[in-house]
């Protein structure tokens, strides 16, 4: 997540090359229209909590994980560093680990993915803790469902897997705002993120005051799986505020005690290590570096930033693949090349943590984004976080990379590796016909609205994710000529419409064009004859906040004045578009909004008429809904929803936000749909399409991922 000024090299299966890394270093009305799902009669709780581990069961498994106790060779349960080695219960220990993020996997699949990691030969799992998932609103904590960190840690314990916990508060992770909650961006005056600013530290103290006591009982010395806790993440690639790092260390010690190993991770250069590490033996300094680099000179450099005898060689992010942004070719790296690089570390008793062992999915609105040369060079991440990891997004392990890495790990593992599980079966459930349930502009009267003389950011209005509709009015030119509208700073993508009252009193917005953060150009508004003022409507999509680099303070919405022929437009109404995010539940409120949503349904008999019109329809944000059945006798299987022929938007299944689709941009054509989201009987699909629906008004449920969409390009964005 680093190396900002370096290039990235993607390696195909037929080529060996080095891969350079700058990853991270790189009301809720279910959108009103989603309430129309009532017409289908569905409600599905998506996340069933994992069965809690009884104290008896936990004690039993803790005993299983105690190869050395005071009654056994005189050693207490302890994980420590000495003689430039890791030691577990008095025995030398080589960390062969991998990142697997609980928040990118449904809880029902945590055990499945962890067992596949064990079959790969991993003895340790590393995971981040995203603050924004656990405190989506200031003061409102969430540790349930996909946010049930404690259950994930206990499950790791039960399965005999150690844990390296990356507690943040900044994590990067290609995750929205690097894991910071977006409500931090609404505070005035703004706190300086990742700094010793007292206002920021006070918020961190409150967050860690909730988080760390939950994980403290699960430290290795207390019988749990956590062997190390990371402080911040690759801070040397961002700043050099040592007071900030020291404060985090003191705070961690306060809650976790003096025995746990705290560690930092920084790129393997002298500059990043100078900035991001804490000298002495209070905090262990780990490194990461380009896959394919000779690791051993970097491990020698690492020793300079650890106390004598306290520097076991550890690559805490060994890159098995790479991230992909919308509009890029899907990243792939050679299995043999990756395996050879891992062997180079393990054969000399070095330790490594695969990033990623299993990538998972950026469900909901939580994907992050990167920048290039400046803030406008904006690159949002895909919904898929497959990462070309050995355990694929859907859990598949029958692939060349898994096999190659397992062969290497097997040579150095201290235990026999478990058998490799079969891939989970996928099912193509077939075609789903959808019908239009209404367009956005028919529903805005039901949305919460904020009025202001000037546009204000999403965060300032409490709209942390998704979409915001800005509306104002202007007077047409007396000579009937065209006007020019410009928005110097829009984050991230704005569709512009104009309308005026028609004879029947209903507004019919006309699409004018789209302003994009990365290619922002003024738009020409056509001459429109209206009986009164013309309405200007700007629908802004938050496509994911920056998770890395100097521009991380990334507010969303319209962040500048809006100019019409050089004159500032004022008196704005801002409508909060209520689409649920990953860890939110739809609120069903029986009021006129539901009737309005239900009345928007178009009957199946009108389906053909809509299809015939759709080819010439103006680009308008609209909602489409359909359903499919799974027999009560059938075992529910994973699937993928293909949005081929659609434009851009959001898809939900059974009130679960699967994520963003954008096949016009590519490369992702299909979105992964895990089986726990589905149910026997009726399953409802709702699509919020921003631009152009499939002319046939159909989506497909298929049994394979597809990353071949979008315009074909001769190169990709270089990180």
Active site residues: 234, 317
Q: Among residues 166, 145, 154, 79, which one has the least CA distance to residue 114?
A: 154
Cα–Cα distance measured from residue 233 to residue 1, given in angstroms and rounded to the nearest whole number: 9
How does DSSP classify residue 603?
Answer: P
Helices (H) and strands (E) in the chain, counts: 13, 34
Cα–Cα distance measured from residue 604 to residue 346, given in angstroms and rounded to the nearest whole number: 61
The two beta strands, 351-358 and 314-319, are: parallel
Buried b (16+ CB within 10 A) or exposed e, 107-123: bbbbebbbebbbbbbbb
Helix (H) or strand (E) holding 346: helix 335-346
Quote the tokens at residue 39.
């017409």
Cα–Cα distance measured from residue 251 to residue 102, given in angstroms and rounded to the nearest whole number: 24
Cβ atoms of 658 and 688 within 8 Å: the answer is: no
Name the region of 94 (left: φ>0; alpha: ψ -120 to 50; beta: rest).
beta
Q: How many Cβ atoms from other residues are within 10 Å of residue 404's Cβ?
A: 20
**Ranges assigned E (strand) in 254-385:** 261-267, 284-288, 314-319, 351-358, 369-371, 378-380
SS3 of the chain: helix, strand, coil, percent, to 5: 25, 25, 50
Cα–Cα distance measured from residue 69 to residue 514, given in angstroms and rounded to the nearest whole number: 65
Quote the tokens at residue 52.
């809690």
CA dihedral 298→301→302→304, nearest 10 degrees, is: 180
Q: Three-class SS of residue 254?
A: helix
Cβ atoms of 278 and 304 within 8 Å: the answer is: no
Q: Three-class SS of residue 14?
A: coil
**Cβ-Cβ contacts under 8 Å for 374 (sequence gap 6 or more):** 551
Quote the tokens at residue 219.
């430290």
How does DSSP classify residue 445?
Answer: G
């Amino acid at each position: 997540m680093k190396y900002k000024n370096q290039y990235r090299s993607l390696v195909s299966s037929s080529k060996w090359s080095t891969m350079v890394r700058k990853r991270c270093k790189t009301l809720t009305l279910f959108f009103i229209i989603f309430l129309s799902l009532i017409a289908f009669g569905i409600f599905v709780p998506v996340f069933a909590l994992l069965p809690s581990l009884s104290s008896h069961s936990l004690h039993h498994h803790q005993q299983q994980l105690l190869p050395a106790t005071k009654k056994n060779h005189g050693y207490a349960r302890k994980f420590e560093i000495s003689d430039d080695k890791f030691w577990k219960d008095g025995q030398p220990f080589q960390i062969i680990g991998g990142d697997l993020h609980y928040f990118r996997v449904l809880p029902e699949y945590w055990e499945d993915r962890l067992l596949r990691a064990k079959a790969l030969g991993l003895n340790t799992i590393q995971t981040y803790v995203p603050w924004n998932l656990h405190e989506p609103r200031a003061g409102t904590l969430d540790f349930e469902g996909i946010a049930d960190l404690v259950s994930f840690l206990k499950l790791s314990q039960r399965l005999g897997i150690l844990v390296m916990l990356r507690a943040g508060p900044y994590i990067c992770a290609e995750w929205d705002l690097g894991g910071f909650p977006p409500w931090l961006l609404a505070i005035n005056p703004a706190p300086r993120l990742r700094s010793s600013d007292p206002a920021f530290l006070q918020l961190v103290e409150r967050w860690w005051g909730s988080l760390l006591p939950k994980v403290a009982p699960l430290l290795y010395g207390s019988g749990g799986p956590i062997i190390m806790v990371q402080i911040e993440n690759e801070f040397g690639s961002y700043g050099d505020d040592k007071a900030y790092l020291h404060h985090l260390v003191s705070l961690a010690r306060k809650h976790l005690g003096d025995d746990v190993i705290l560690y930092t991770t920084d790129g393997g250069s002298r500059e990043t290590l100078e900035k991001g590490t804490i000298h002495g033996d209070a905090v262990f300094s780990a490194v990461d570096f380009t896959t394919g680099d000779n690791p051993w000179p970097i491990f020698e450099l690492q020793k300079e930033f650890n106390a004598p005898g306290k520097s076991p060689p550890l690559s805490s992010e060994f890159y098995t693949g790479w991230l992909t942004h919308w509009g890029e070719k899907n990243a792939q790296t050679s299995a043999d090349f990756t395996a050879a690089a891992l062997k180079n570390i393990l054969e000399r008793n070095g330790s490594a943590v695969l990033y990623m062992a299993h990538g998972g999915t950026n469900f909901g609105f939580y994907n992050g984004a990167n920048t290039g040369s400046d803030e406008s060079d904006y690159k949002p991440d895909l919904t898929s976080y497959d990462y070309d990891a050995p355990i694929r997004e859907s859990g598949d392990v029958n692939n060349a990379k898994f096999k190659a890495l397992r062969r290497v790990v097997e040579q150095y593992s201290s235990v026999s590796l478990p058998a490799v599980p079969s891939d989970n079966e996928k099912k193509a459930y077939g075609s789903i016909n959808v019908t239009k349930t209404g367009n956005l502009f028919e529903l805005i009267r039901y949305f919460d609205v904020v009025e202001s003389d000037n546009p204000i950011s999403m965060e300032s209005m409490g709209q942390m994710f998704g979409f915001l509709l800005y509306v104002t009015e202007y007077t047409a030119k007396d000579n009937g000529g065209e006007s020019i509208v410009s928005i110097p700073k829009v984050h991230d993508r704005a569709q512009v419409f104009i309308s005026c009252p028609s004879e029947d009193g209903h507004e019919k917005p006309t699409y004018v064009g789209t302003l994009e953060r990365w290619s922002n150009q003024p738009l020409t508004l056509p001459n429109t004859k209206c009986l009164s003022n013309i309405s200007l409507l700007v629908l802004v999509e938050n496509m994911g906040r920056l998770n890395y680099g100097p521009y991380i303070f990334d507010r969303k919405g319209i962040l500048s004045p809006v100019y019409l022929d050089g004159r500032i437009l004022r008196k704005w109404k801002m409508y909060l578009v209520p689409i649920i995010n990953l860890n939110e539940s739809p609120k069903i409120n029986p009021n006129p909004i539901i009737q309005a949503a239900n009345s928007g349904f178009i009957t199946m008999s009108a389906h053909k008429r809509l299809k015939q019109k759709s080819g010439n329809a103006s680009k308008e944000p609209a909602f489409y809904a359909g359903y499919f059945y799974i027999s009560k006798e059938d075992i529910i299987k994973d699937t993928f929803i293909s949005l081929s022929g659609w434009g851009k938007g959001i898809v939900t299944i059974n009130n679960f936000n699967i994520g963003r689709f954008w096949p016009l941009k590519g490369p992702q054509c299909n979105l992964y749909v895990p089986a726990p989201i589905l149910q026997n009987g009726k399953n409802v699909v709702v699509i919020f399409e921003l631009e152009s629906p499939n002319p046939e008004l159909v989506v497909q449920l298929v049994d394979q991922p597809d990353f071949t969409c979008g315009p074909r390009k001769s190169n990709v964005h270089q990180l």
